[in-house]
Amino acid sequence: MAALNDGLKRLYNQKLKPLESTYHFDDFASALLSGPDERTIPGNTITVQAGMPFSGLTAFGSAFLSKFECSQMPHPLLEHMTLIDTPGVLSGEKQRTDRGYDFTGVTSWFAAKCDLILLLFDPHKLDISDELKRVISSLRGHDDKIRVVLNKADQVDTQQLMRVYGALMWSLGRVLNTPEVTRVYIGSFSDGPLNEAAGGPIGCDLFIKEHNDLLADLRDIPKNACDRWVNEFVKRARAAKIHAHIIGHLKKEMPILIGKTTAQEKLIYNLEEEFRKVQREFHLPIGDFPNVEHYREVLKSYNIDKFERLKPKMIQAVDDMLGYDIPELLKDFRNQNDG
């Protein structure tokens, strides 16, 4: 635990702190990972570099890649994890600023590939802007990865902190729309001393415990990496199965000869009802279905009549993989670890 804490502090002082003075993190996205020496690689270069996992970011264009960079440095901690700092979320009048790229899409892309997502809040800036709502909505399906951090909590006294915590939980409850209580880490997560005058002895003790809990969560990332990879693979397989059923159903609903344009418009308009038909016919979990509004927008760019028909053998192959192959693979993997 202490080694991880010291490692994170050294990383901040060695690399993140100098970067903070050079770039405006509201505009830039940064990746910090292990490398033989200290160097900074521009976004357009890192996406075409062999062995790097960022090639998929080319879909967001040069407008994003010009504001993305990868920093490498030799450090034992970075041999086990990569840190990503996404652009800051805009609020107020700044939300009207055109970023020039799909910011929500970028955060969703990173969310699908990471092991842990930290949402940082400030006691003096608890408002959840429209852009932040869209970002949090894009994280749906990755709820198990999300951790909320209430930073700079030593800047308010105990009574104010209770009110701030309650307001944050209420706001998050409305946005996340889940019955489970979100885990919130409270503290001052910096390399400076705690403000004991504001927190008092009870508050400072709480901040230390929360600090250690967050570090424990970070420490478990490498240990749980394999389970998370399998988890993500299973989620994608289930999503692909749902997608195949939806596409097959829409294709089946299209007329053979005339009225195809009108039929497509009607299917897209009534997409929510079409989802329910698919769910009832194939007895699929409704929670596995994609966001209907996003799906509707994507469908408008395609000709449904040219979609492939559903192939039951391929659906069965996915079911066999989820029901037999993956469990057997996990059994063998755990047996090797036990040995």
Secondary structure (3-state) at 102: coil
Q: Residues 132-172: pLDDT tens digits? A: 888 888 787 787 888 888 888 888 888 888 888 888 888 77
For residue 35, the number of C-alpha atoms closer than 13 Å in the C-beta half-sphere is: 15
Query: Given a cut of 70, is residue 5 above it in pLDDT?
Result: no
pLDDT score recorded for residue 218: 83
DSSP state, residue 122: B
**At residue 138, what is the residue type?**
S
Q: What is the pLDDT of residues 56-99, one digit of tens each?
A: 999 999 989 998 999 999 988 888 888 888 877 766 555 556 67
- Which tokens belong to 307? 């979609």
**Position 310: which residue type?**
L
What is the predicted pLDDT for the residue at 180?
A: 65
Residue 276's pLDDT is 94
**Three-class secondary structure of residue 319 per DSSP:** helix
How far apart are the C-alpha atoms of 268 and 8, rounded to whole Å? 49
What mean pLDDT is predicted for residues 199-217? 79
Whether the per-residue pLDDT at 189 is higher than 60: the answer is: yes
CA–CA separation, 112 and 246 (whole Å): 22
Length of the chain in terms of residues written: 339
Q: How sure is the predictor about 201, in pLDDT bands with cuts at 50, 70 and 90?
A: low
Q: For residue 212, how many other CB atoms are within 10 A of its CB?
A: 15
Among residues 321, 311, 310, the alpha carbon closest in space to that of 233 is found at 321
32, two tokens: 């910090």
Task: Spell out the residues 6+ positions from residue 103 whose beta carbon is closer than 8 angstroms to its own.
Answer: 87, 131, 135
| Per-residue confidence (pLDDT) for residue 93, from 0 to 100 | 53
